[in-house]
Amino acid sequence: MARARPGLSPWLGLAAALPLGFLAVFFVWPVVAILRLGVGEGGVLAVLGSGQTWRLVGFTVGQAAASTVLAVLAGLPVAYLLARTSLRGLWFVRVAVLVPFVLPTVVVGLAFRTLLPDGGVFAIVLANAFFNVAVVARTVANLWSHVDGRAGDAARSLGASPLRAFRSVTLPALAPALTSAAAVVFLFCATSFGVVLILGGSRYRTLETEIYLRTVELLDLPGAAALSLVQLAAVVAALTVGALARRRGESALALRGRATVARRPRGALSWTVVAVALGVVALLLVPVVVLVARSFGGGLAGYRALAGFGHAGSLQVSGVDAALNSLRAATDATVLAVLLGVTASVVLVSLSRGRVRRGVVETMDTALMLPLGVSAVTVGFGYLVTLDMLPGDLRTSPALVPLAQALVVTPLVIRMVLPVLRSIDQRLRQAAASLGASPAAVWREVDVPMAGRSLLTAAGFGFVVALGEFGATSFLARPDTATLPVAIARLISRPGELNNQMAYAACTLLIVVTVAAVALVESAGRTRVGEF
């Protein structure tokens, strides 16, 4: 008597086809087309062999590594503050840390250009780290709040100093989260586009901005294709490291129960760490505050200017229309990304519940993360090459921007919804089934209510990320469908004081929406914000 694997239904294949099909049509195909286009014209090997290419790789990896180290050093004390202390006002720290992560890159680039007018490597590293402190702080805090402090206490009682206990007991326990966070941060920093473009100018170029320049300005497709190949290899490597670290993280977590570990800091060392963490939070606020202050530099002139088209018609749409374009595109992208991300999460969690080989699940998981790391420029240009082969005039359609944004947002939705679905006790679902709930009813009665909050969170974050998306949008948005970030980039690249004031005002609008979304999500309850 052979019984089917419980929990695996034929519908699963159909459901898997939706996100994987989207990934194939709107990601793999355009990227492969661009790569083939470049390789077809020859000269790829010449680019791969040139010293300039490897200097670019060196700079890209170097700045990403430096930014990652800085983000980890700044994120660890904040993780301690969030996970192990019970001070009042921690919700403010949570919001303050999270806002930079979802701020539009253009806004951050502008903020750091205002703070450090000379720009340069230092500004790039600082800005990249600024973005990613949240990733380190929240990923590590998540694990840290589950680590049983008694192992550290035992080390102390055996004669270890607080620092020694941290190094030899706590730090190894945090290693999975730390590695996973570092891999993700490295990925974000290595492919960061808007920040490097604004702060590096033509002097400091990474693979990502070089691909953009070669594609858009030099029309050097073989060069761009070769660089895309190099970048893809690096991204797959970083994602694999992240997946391996996650695997260890999950097995490590399984060993421990939830412990109430938050207490008031005690001793000089704890208070020092808390002080450092609060210092980091204060520093994170500086760029935001500077931008908002600047936006009022000319009274309300910048805000009034939003109704117009900037100095000497710098824009083809008014600031208000750009804002409306942003809202429309972000809404469409969020709806699409939530649909795709939830479907993918359901498929992934059903596969692991159905005891499908772990490798299969992890490969699919990693594949769905790929859009996070591949040059948005490559994807954007790929759209222009491939999408006119599809029925309907998609290439010139305003639907193109939300499609590209959904590609970026979907991985975020998966990373927020999947861990929550995975953490639902299988036996709770089995209890429902034993009470007569069909598989569909189990989802309706157990999974949906329990993961509902994380779904709202994912939608909130997805929305602000789509709102701020710059890389692919700058490539795909037509002048009359420009979004706010694209308009900001255009304004600051044109002369005129009015343009600057208008850009600051637009940035402030984006900041307000972002802060509101983050605060809303945070107040919706103390949800774990996925693995980021």
Residues lying near another protein in the complex (CB under 8 A) are found at: 1-6, 425, 427-428, 430-439, 441-442, 445-446, 449-450
Query: Considering the complex, what minimum distance in angstroms separates the CB of residue 532 from another protein?
Result: 25
- Closest CB to another protein among 163 and 254? 254
Structure tokens belonging to residue 364:
């699919």
Residues with Cβ within 8 Å of 345's Cβ and at least 6 positions away in sequence, in order, are 413, 414, 417, 418, 421
The answer to whether 81 and 96 have CB atoms below 8 angstroms apart is: no
List CB contacts of 254: < 8 A, sequence separation 6 or more: none
Phi (first) and psi of residue 263, to 5 degrees? -145, 175
Report, in Å, the least distance between residue 139 CB and another protein.
Answer: 25
Helix (H, G, I), strand (E, B) or coil at 236: helix
What is the smallest separation between the CB atom of 428 and another protein, expressed in angstroms? 5
**What is the smallest separation between the CB atom of 353 and another protein, expressed in angstroms?**
11
Q: Compare residues 328 and 528 and give the one whose CB is closer to another protein.
A: 528
Contact 196, 124 (CB under 8 A): yes
Q: Is 263 helix (H, G, I), strand (E, B) or coil?
A: strand
Nearer to another protein, 3 or 266 (CB): 3
Give whichever of 5 and 55 is closer to another protein, judged by the CB atom: 5
Q: In angstroms, give the least distance from the CB of 451 to another protein.
A: 11
Structure tokens at 168: 């030899």
- What per-residue string of b and e applies to 381-420 under the rule 16 or more CB within 10 Å gives b? bbbbbbbeeeeeebeeeeebbbbbbbbbbbbbbbbbbbbb
Phi, psi of 85 (to 5 degrees): -115, 160
Cβ distance to another protein smaller for residue 25 or 450? 450
End-to-end CA distance of the chain: 45
Task: Output 366 or 430, the one with its CB closest to another protein.
Answer: 430
- Give the whole-angstrom CA distance, residue 489 versus residue 475: 12
Distance of closest approach, residue 94 Cβ to another protein, in angstroms: 23
- Minimum separation from the CB atom of position 7 to another protein (A): 9
Of 323 and 446, nearer to another protein (C-beta) is: 446
